Amino acid sequence: MSDAHHRKKQPVLIRQQLLAVAARLATERGINAVTLDAVAAAADVSKGGLLHHFPTKVSLLEAMLDSLLDRLDAAVGAQMRSDPMPHGRFTRGYLRAVIALRERPEETQDWTQVTLALLTEPHLRQRWRDWVEKQSEDFVGTDSSVDAQIVRFATDGIWLADLLGSHESTLASQQALFERLINLTRK
């Protein structure tokens, strides 16, 4: 018998472990390698234990995205709390949180595979659209200007370029772009 059958039950920790293993598998081998069998084996959890938390691959992928969105929400919220100017605060927080991902490559790897899955999985795209719509509703009074929308679109482009490694730039040009985008949020 494996240790999985003798462990003290800790459902929250097991769920986190399963999500971490799924993210690692996605990063190392691609999103198609994230199967229920592969995740259970890599996490040393019985398939029944995995199915208790994630009855389908779709539910596992959705939980991976939700976990990353929770981290994104926390990062944006932390940026917003340190920003005294209400106008454009969410947009600046979003831009700063995305730029800060450059300093945390392990989190960027998690986002890479989930972002690629967003392009191919309709249910994940809908979850992302729901998150974007909620932010738009929550911050309509402070972040609904055309300039703020331009900055959020540019931020998404920066994020995608960083994930794909498609645009090389100097630190000076990155800083100039960042400053220009921040200034747009203040108009």
Q: Do 75 and 16 reside in the same domain of the chain?
A: no
Q: What is the CATH number of the domain that holds 16?
A: 1.10.10.60
Question: Which residue range(s) make up the domain with 101?
Answer: 59-187
The lowest-confidence range among 2-6, 120-124, 172-176 is: 2-6
- Answer with the residue of higher pLDDT: 108 or 83: 83
Q: Do 95 and 33 reside in the same domain of the chain?
A: no
Helical residues (DSSP H) of the chain, grouped into ranges:
11-29, 36-43, 47-53, 57-81, 89-100, 105-120, 122-138, 146-164, 171-184
Q: Do 41 and 122 reside in the same domain of the chain?
A: no
Q: Do 63 and 132 reside in the same domain of the chain?
A: yes
Residue 84 has what pLDDT? 96
Q: Do 64 and 83 reside in the same domain of the chain?
A: yes
* pTM metric for this prediction: 0.83
Per the document, the length of the chain is 187
| Residue 170 banded pLDDT, cuts 50, 70, 90 | confident
Residue 5 has what pLDDT? 52
pLDDT digits 0-9 by tens, 1-44: 455 555 566 888 889 899 888 888 887 887 888 899 999 999 99
